[in-house]
């Protein structure tokens, strides 16, 4: 029995790692659409179609619940997939909800009107496609008012991480933080709106300053998944655990092993 985790590349491994630590008895089937990564520079229709294809591949392997461990896919495809109707007994969840729960200190089931929250100035770092979708701002507006969100599209960061060039990734992060701070000099909180970015969390924190609270998704999503499965134990599915990629399996395996610092072997999807 396995839960599916989907990402355009390797960023979702940060979610997988946290989920495995939070739910050590749970099995996971990870799908990386490496042949088409990164998604963050694609248009919304393309992202939707690629995400739908990958999720269907996971369903075909017996998975009932799929986590879109990709903010770009969550932003551009999730709502459209849900509104278009899912097959009976299948569910797809995104990664924005746990983040907004933490930021606003409200439970997602709290359907009271939006209200003022403690954090008023938020920096959002995300891919160009996620920024363009304004999905984070839309979901946040359902439960909080008076929050000023300044979004910074972090072009190039995902590509550098996927290629293992962490020196370039660090330089790009610092450049993007500088650009954000020119627009919002004193953010109270920063949201790392891409599952690749936790790998650079220390760089974001250093560039922003110790006084800025940095929200990273992996642990938040893992806790939310544990809660969801407690309430919906029927969503465990019948699929087997493993790692799949549409890219070069050997190359992706090597990169994944570097990411998690343990041997990861991907099979062709």
Q: pLDDT tens, position by position, for the chain (269 residues)?
A: 799 999 999 999 999 999 999 999 999 999 999 999 999 999 999 999 999 999 999 999 999 999 999 999 999 999 999 999 999 999 999 998 888 888 988 875 677 889 999 999 999 999 999 999 999 999 899 889 999 999 999 999 999 998 889 999 999 999 999 999 999 999 999 999 999 999 999 999 999 999 999 998 899 999 999 999 999 988 887 778 999 999 999 999 999 998 888 999 999 99
CB 210 within 8 A of CB 189: no
Q: Kindly report the CA angle at 242 between 28 and 216, in degrees rounded to 5?
A: 45
Contact between 246 and 37 (Cβ < 8 Å): no
CATH architecture of 97-216: 3-Layer(aba) Sandwich (3.40)
List of E strands, the chain:
2-7, 27-32, 65-68, 91-93, 115-116, 121-126, 144-145, 148-153, 189-193, 213-215, 242-245, 267-268
* Among 120, 118, 110, 119, CA closest to 142: 110
pLDDT digits (tens, 9 = 90+) for 82-102: 999 999 999 999 998 888 888
Q: Active-site residue numbers?
A: 70, 194
Q: What is the pLDDT of residue 197?
A: 93
CA–CA distance, 158 with 14 (Å, rounded to integer): 13
Phi, psi of 135 (to 5 degrees): -65, -40
Q: Which of 226, 154, 241, 235 is nearest to 195 (CA)?
A: 154
Beta bridge partners of 123: 150, 190
Domain boundaries, the chain: 2-95+218-268, 97-216
- Which of 37-72 are b and which e, b meaning 16 or more Cβ less than 10 Å from the residue's Cβ? bbbbbbeeeebbebbbebbebbbebebbbbbbbbbb
β-strands 213-215, 144-145: how paired?
Answer: unpaired
97-216 shares the fold of 2-95+218-268: yes
CATH of 2-95+218-268, one of 3.40.50.1860, 3.90.25.10, 1.10.10.10, 3.40.50.300: 3.40.50.1860
User: Could you tell me which of 157, 201, 141, 119 has the C-alpha nearest to residue 41?
Assistant: 157
Encoded tokens for 64: 């009932």
pLDDT digits (tens, 9 = 90+) for 135-191: 999 989 988 999 999 999 999 999 999 888 999 999 999 999 999 999 999 999 999
């Amino acid at each position: 029995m396995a839960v599916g985790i989907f990402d355009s590349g390797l960023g979702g491994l940060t979610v997988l790692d946290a989920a495995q630590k939070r739910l050590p008895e749970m099995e996971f089937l990870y799908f990386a659409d490496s042949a088409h990564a990164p998604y963050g520079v694609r248009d919304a229709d393309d992202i939707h179609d690629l995400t739908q294809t990958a999720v269907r591949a996971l369903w075909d392997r017996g998975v009932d619940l799929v986590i879109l461990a990709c903010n770009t896919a969550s932003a551009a495809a999730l709502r459209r997939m849900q509104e278009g109707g899912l097959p009976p007994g299948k569910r797809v969840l995104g990664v924005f909800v746990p983040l907004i729960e933490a930021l606003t200190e409200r439970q997602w089931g709290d359907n009271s009107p939006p209200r003022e929250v403690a954090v008023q100035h938020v920096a959002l770092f995300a891919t160009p496609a996620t920024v363009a979708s304004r999905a984070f701002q839309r979901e946040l507006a359902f439960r909080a008012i008076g929050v000023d969100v300044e979004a910074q599209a972090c072009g190039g960061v995902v590509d550098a991480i996927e290629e293992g060039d962490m020196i370039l990734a660090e330089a790009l992060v610092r450049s993007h933080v500088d650009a954000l701070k020119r627009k919002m000099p004193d953010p109270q909180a920063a949201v790392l709106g891409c599952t690749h970015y936790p790998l650079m969390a220390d760089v974001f924190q250093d560039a922003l300053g110790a006084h800025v609270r940095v929200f990273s998704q992996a642990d938040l999503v893992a806790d939310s998944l544990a809660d969801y499965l407690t309430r919906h134990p029927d969503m465990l599915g019948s699929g087997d655990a493993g790692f799949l990629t549409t890219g070069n399996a050997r190359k992706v395996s090597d990169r994944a092993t570097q990411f998690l610092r343990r041997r990861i072997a991907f099979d062709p999807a």
